[in-house]
Amino acid sequence: MKIINYLDFVPQFSEKEAISISEKVYGKDVLASPLPSERDQNFLLEEKISGKRYVLKISNQKEKKDILDLQNSAMERISSYLKTHSCPKICLTREGEKTAKIIHNQSSHYVRMVTYIEGIPLGEALPHTPDLLQSVGEFIARIDQALKGFSHPAAKREFHWDLQRGPETIKEFIKYIDNPDKRSLIMSFYEKFKSQAVQTVSELEKTVIHNDGNDYNILVNFSDKRSLNQKKVSGIIDFGDMVYSYTVGDIAVTAAYVMLGKENFWDSAFHLIKGYSEVLRISDKELEAISHFIYLRLCMSVVISAFQKRKHPDNKYLTISEKKAWALLKKLGETKIDPAYLIERTNE
């Protein structure tokens, strides 16, 4: 599998330059402040007069335009299907284009402006009550429902965050983990997946999926500002990892993140999956696959993080979830991963 180290090509624009792009390309007079991102560069924009907010997305130098077209089309599809502001909407340039191309320090970058989605990250919307987790599951299911029947040639790509390539990704990146005990733990999960899950996942439905429902891409609002427990999902952002893959991989990825830092982590996964199944029925075979995909995604996350840290040791963004991921993998390694638990509870 060919690996592109996107972190070597992250855009380096200043706030002043972001403001200039907003005016020249989009005709907007704004203030700008940086937003966190892994391989692109994002700025929060606020129009000086109206106060309306947007996000300026400057793509990685190595990002291909067809991948951005995929994201644009998927966001339009979801917005049309859900009839809400649950995902960003593309803002057109002065020339009526969805994506612009600019030159910066002799390098070309694609630029897009999208609407800003209100809310706080799920990872900060604590505590994660059963009702909140169920609503997250329902929301992910509606995203998957909206994308059923959706196709785009760029979605069938070779991508190291694709669960279909999980074992391959682990084999490629595990060499960057120095601790032998951690390497051994990852290999135990790798062997478990190869021996117990390969046949099961080979029969699963595949569609285009968001593929990155982590706890900082799912946004939450307080439905009742007087009660911090009354929370609901407001939207999802960052469509950069979209791929044609296992449909239930979407909920499995989200489950892997909501389980982080939880004492009763399987209960958190259950509430999430229960909500998903209220919208899209999940078969027992898919529930079995989800239980395997959860540890597969966690393994992919820590080995890719090890690779990225080796290349960029000062980038703190790369380690947001790493410590919790290792702790959860250790717990999963010490306990029996029993798909029957999710199957029985979800079918109650």
Q: What is the CATH number of the domain that holds 237?
A: 3.90.1200.10
Domain match, 27 and 67 both:
yes
Summarize pLDDT for 292-347 with one digit per residue, the tens. Answer: 999 999 999 999 999 888 876 666 666 667 889 999 999 999 887 666 667 777 77
∠ CA 243-246-249, nearest 5°, is 90
Summarize pLDDT for 200-220 with one digit per residue, the tens. Answer: 899 999 999 999 999 999 999
Q: For residue 40, what is the DSSP state?
A: S
- Give the model's confidence band at 117: pLDDT under 50 very low, under 70 low, under 90 confident, else very high: very high
User: How far is residue 24's CA from residue 33's CA, in Å, rounded to a whole number?
Assistant: 18
The mean pLDDT of the chain is: 91
194 pLDDT higher than 70: yes
Q: Name the one residue in this structure whose structure tokens are 């947001």.
A: 320
Summarize pLDDT for 259-295 with one digit per residue, the tens. Answer: 999 999 999 999 999 999 999 999 999 999 999 999 9
pLDDT at 129: 93
Domain match, 163 and 70 both:
no
Domain match, 138 and 251 both:
yes
186 touches 303 (CB < 8 A):
yes
Boundary of a domain, candidates 81, 115, 149: 115
71 pLDDT higher than 70: yes
- Does residue 1 form part of some domain? no
% of the chain exceeding 70 in pLDDT: 91
Domain match, 134 and 111 both:
no
Domain match, 88 and 147 both:
no
Domain match, 233 and 145 both:
yes
291 contacts: CB under 8 Å, gap ≥ 6 = 337, 338, 339, 341, 342
Domain match, 332 and 250 both:
yes
Q: Name the one residue in this structure whose structure tokens are 């009702």.
A: 131
What's the domain count of the chain? 2
21 pLDDT higher than 60: yes
pLDDT at 7: 72
∠ CA 23-26-32, nearest 5°, is 55
User: How far is residue 318's CA from residue 183's CA, in Å, rounded to a whole number?
Assistant: 19
Range(s) of the domain holding residue 263? 120-346
Domain match, 177 and 314 both:
yes
The neighbour count for residue 3, using CB atoms within 10 Å, is 12
Boundary of a domain, candidates 48, 81, 115: 115
Domain match, 159 and 108 both:
no
Domain match, 100 and 53 both:
yes
- Does residue 170 form part of some domain? yes
pLDDT at 335: 80
Name the token pair of 241.
């990892």
50 pLDDT higher than 80: yes
Domain match, 224 and 295 both:
yes
The whole-model pTM stands at 0.92
pLDDT at 107: 84
